[in-house]
Structure 1
Amino acid sequence: MSGLPEFVLRPEPLPEMADLLAQDAPSITLDMAADLARGLYGISGSITPLSAEKDANFRIRLASGAEALLKVTNTAEDRGVTDMQTAALIHLAHVDPDLPVQRICRSVKGRSAEIITGPNGDPHIVRLMSFLSGTILAGASPTPEFYPALGSFMARVTRGLRGFFHPAAGHILQWDIKQAHRLRPMLDVIGDAAMRARVAEIVARFDSHIAPQLSGLRAQVVHNDFNPHNLLVDGESASRPVGLIDFGDMVHTPIACDLAVACSYQVTEGDRPLDRIAQIISGYASVLPLEPEELELLPDLMRLRYATTLIVAERRARAYPANAHYILRNTKVSLNGLDALDRVGTSAAQDILCAAAMERPTR
């Protein structure tokens, strides 16, 4: 499904949006979503809600069997940031048409996004995208060849975004590792004193050692959230990635920060916790070679991602307790990752990753 023509049915009059939307996008009902899809995009079909942290997402299955994703953006999100995400997907469709990311579908008015008004006068951005099928990596059991393929896929996305820029790319995002200094005032949200001290030490090291080095690294707009819930794979016994979703954390930052985010989810238990990461690095470097300074910072950048997850997720879970289970889903991964990096040690981890970058992945 490459665009709107595959979807278009006879457009029907658009209902009054003020009667359809609550203030926050996640409160949109199935009936509301159906009205939006029909009025803005001229389509109808069976609709299923999808879980999300900020937006309201709906999977629409048409009578033809084609599927689409209707996304209603939370009113709190900056409109420029949403426009950047849309523009990035359009850009990727041009520079790498075979890259398995979502495609933006035009509305009946020919627009890449529509703006509607909620009952309190709040604007919501509505977009229709192609729906990517596949198994979520978080629910799969990857085969050994998967991890080099994941690395090369990630490098391909990064390379595709290399020539892309947008005025909103410099926005401040706490999930951007280069913003780790902003974690300091939030440390008190961690209730356990020992863990709070541990995370405080990581933030202090960022201020003294890591931040001064980041300005010398290659930087560009990146996806910034290659986590297992955003990656689609080719089945439960995954051998390769087949899709990437959720560009909501896009930002202009060092590519090493983007890579650290992806690697932070792949630490394992046991005596060789960095084996998967080494394979990812090998695959990545086969497409987009890495510089020594980037590789040397990766262990520290991974720790900073874990620290960010622990603090921000706990803070959000307290603010939105009804969605706490979803928000805190990566807490255990972060704690295990910190423990594993401490067992291996920074110097040994750097040696492992630098060696991996010199190897060619086996196909």
Structure 2
Amino acid sequence: MSLKESKPNLSHSQVTGIVERVFGLTPASIRLLPSYDDQNIAVTTVEGGEYVVKVMNSADSQNLSVLELQTDIMNFLQQRDLPVQKVLPTLTGQLMSLEEIDCGFGMQKYMVRLMTYLPGTVLAKITCTPQILYEAGKMAAIIDKVLLQMEHPNLGALQRKNFIWSLASVPLLKQYLAVVDGDPMQHVVKGVIEQYQIQVTPNLSSFRKCINHGDFNDHNVLVEPDDSSNYKITGILDFGDMSTGYFVFELAITITYMMIENANPLDVGRPVIAGWESVIPLNEAEKDALYVLVLSRLCQSLVLARHAVLQQPENEEYLMITAKTGVHLLFFLWQKGKEEVMKIWFQSAAEHSQSCQGAETK
């Protein structure tokens, strides 16, 4: 089944029917939210609440154990005062409901969840100051650190072998390289995969293990202005790419996505690393791998976005959000080289950390 056939595309009336029948609420308004391969719908109700209905694609809906675990993890984090959506029960007390729906490709089963609506603007829509980049790095680290406390009989479900979005799966990109045939980018992607196999694969045992959110990007982080001229993080969205991994993977993903919309991308690494290290200091092996891991994430985003557009051409604008600027960023970082980039990231990360921590205590 193609990505297009697997992605849900419920009509307003189908959404209304599910919200009424499954959750006992009456929609007053329905608004579609952007999504990659699922369907996210903001719903306000006659009863007065504001919610998000998340309909999983039909392929992921078959993986019940992973979805149950993601749901439990979100509630685990929310109970520990992290700004994560709470998953709300159905009328029968379940946290998910498997619904059979026809979205134009015949009857298929889609897992449906109702979640609290979090206020805020996506980070991609604001001009990111060093302060909010520091907060983003810090929040990514806090989430992974808190998840070390998670006990669950089904945690093994997150060992998603060959999960293409995991930074452990970078060598698997070789099978998708045909989508960049004739593009100068292909040469760089091949070079990054080669560097990954030389610099990352042999050192995996030196990285510290954890559970990764896996998609800490500027469209999954919500912010609001605080009392000063700064921003605070009010929401972390989309736990669909969670998997077991390593702390340094999460940091690399966070740096990558915070660079995408930034006018001075090379300046992003410093505050993000400083925020991260205020919670989890990096060891030498993790520091050494960071440059290649950031380039690897850019390669994943670019190659897999091209692949997805072939299957979902009507969703090209959303699918290529990262790719449009990401391709220039990939060339830029590749040409700069590891030594120069690492020098910029780490030389003043320490002084950046001191200035941000000083601001926190004021």
TM-score using structure 2 length: 0.87
Counterpart of 2:142 in structure 1 is 156
By how many angstroms is 1:355 displaced?
3.7
Counterpart of 1:334 in structure 2 is 326
By how many angstroms is 1:144 displaced?
3.4
- Code of the residue aligned with 1:132 in structure 2: it is L
- Code of the residue aligned with 2:157 in structure 1: it is A
Counterpart of 2:173 in structure 1 is 183
Which secondary structure does the structure 2 equivalent of 1:303 belong to?
helix
Which secondary structure does the structure 1 equivalent of 2:83 belong to?
coil
Q: Does 1:255 align with 2:247?
A: yes
By how many angstroms is 1:31 displaced?
0.8
By how many angstroms is 1:145 displaced?
1.8
Equivalent-residue separation in structure 2 for 1:282 and 1:291 (angstroms): 14
Q: 1:108 to 1:157 in 2, by over 3 A?
A: same
Counterpart of 2:258 in structure 1 is 266
Equivalent residue runs for 1:197-276 within 5 Å: 197-235=187-225, 239-267=231-259, 273-276=265-268
The equivalent position to 2:283 in structure 1, one of 291, 299, 302, is 291
Q: 1:302 to 1:82 in 2, by over 3 A?
A: same
Equivalent-residue separation in structure 1 for 2:310 and 2:329 (angstroms): 23
By how many angstroms is 1:26 displaced?
2.4
The equivalent position to 1:81 in structure 2, one of 31, 43, 66, is 66
Q: Does 1:27 align with 2:9?
A: yes
By how many angstroms is 1:276 displaced?
2.0
By how many angstroms is 1:176 displaced?
0.8
C-alpha RMSD over aligned residues:
2.4
The equivalent position to 2:21 in structure 1, one of 31, 39, 56, is 39
Counterpart of 1:93 in structure 2 is 78
By how many angstroms is 1:299 displaced?
0.6
Whether the aligned pair in 1 keeps the contact of 2:8 and 2:110 (CA below 8 Å) is: no
Which secondary structure does the structure 2 equivalent of 1:252 belong to?
strand
Counterpart of 1:139 in structure 2 is 125
Equivalent-residue separation in structure 2 for 1:51 and 1:326 (angstroms): 7
Whether the aligned pair in 1 keeps the contact of 2:132 and 2:230 (CA below 8 Å) is: yes
Residues 245-271 of structure 1, C-alpha deviations (whole Å, 9 max, x = no match): 011111111111111111012337999
Q: 1:207 to 1:136 in 2, by over 3 A?
A: same
Q: Percent identity?
A: 27
Equivalent-residue separation in structure 2 for 1:102 and 1:124 (angstroms): 20
Which secondary structure does the structure 2 equivalent of 1:36 belong to?
helix
Q: Does 1:130 align with 2:122?
A: no
Q: 1:324 to 1:147 in 2, by over 3 A?
A: same
Equivalent-residue separation in structure 2 for 1:223 and 1:203 (angstroms): 23
- Code of the residue aligned with 2:144 in structure 1: it is T
Equivalent-residue separation in structure 2 for 1:92 and 1:271 (angstroms): 33
Which segment drifts farther, 159-168 or 195-204?
159-168
Q: How many corresponding residue pairs?
A: 340
Counterpart of 1:282 in structure 2 is 274
Whether the aligned pair in 2 keeps the contact of 1:101 and 1:245 (CA below 8 Å) is: yes
By how many angstroms is 1:88 displaced?
1.1
Equivalent-residue separation in structure 2 for 1:202 and 1:232 (angstroms): 31
TM-score using structure 1 length: 0.87
Counterpart of 1:167 in structure 2 is 156
Whether the aligned pair in 1 keeps the contact of 2:206 and 2:286 (CA below 8 Å) is: no
Counterpart of 1:8 in structure 2 is none
Counterpart of 1:107 in structure 2 is 90
Whether the aligned pair in 1 keeps the contact of 2:168 and 2:245 (CA below 8 Å) is: yes
Which secondary structure does the structure 1 equivalent of 2:202 belong to?
helix
Equivalent-residue separation in structure 2 for 1:268 and 1:57 (angstroms): 23
Moved over 6 A (4+): 268-272
Q: 1:289 to 1:270 in 2, by over 3 A?
A: closer
Equivalent-residue separation in structure 2 for 1:189 and 1:25 (angstroms): 21
- Code of the residue aligned with 2:190 in structure 1: it is A
Whether the aligned pair in 1 keeps the contact of 2:260 and 2:326 (CA below 8 Å) is: no
Which segment drifts farther, 268-277 or 346-355?
268-277
Where structure 1 has 5 or more consecutive residues not aligned to the other structure, the ranges are 1-21
Equivalent-residue separation in structure 2 for 1:238 and 1:124 (angstroms): 40
By how many angstroms is 1:23 displaced?
7.0
Which segment drifts farther, 167-176 or 178-187?
167-176
Residues 62-98 of structure 1, C-alpha deviations (whole Å, 9 max, x = no match): 235421111111111132222221121022123x2x2
Equivalent-residue separation in structure 2 for 1:163 and 1:270 (angstroms): 34
Which segment drifts farther, 297-306 or 346-355?
346-355
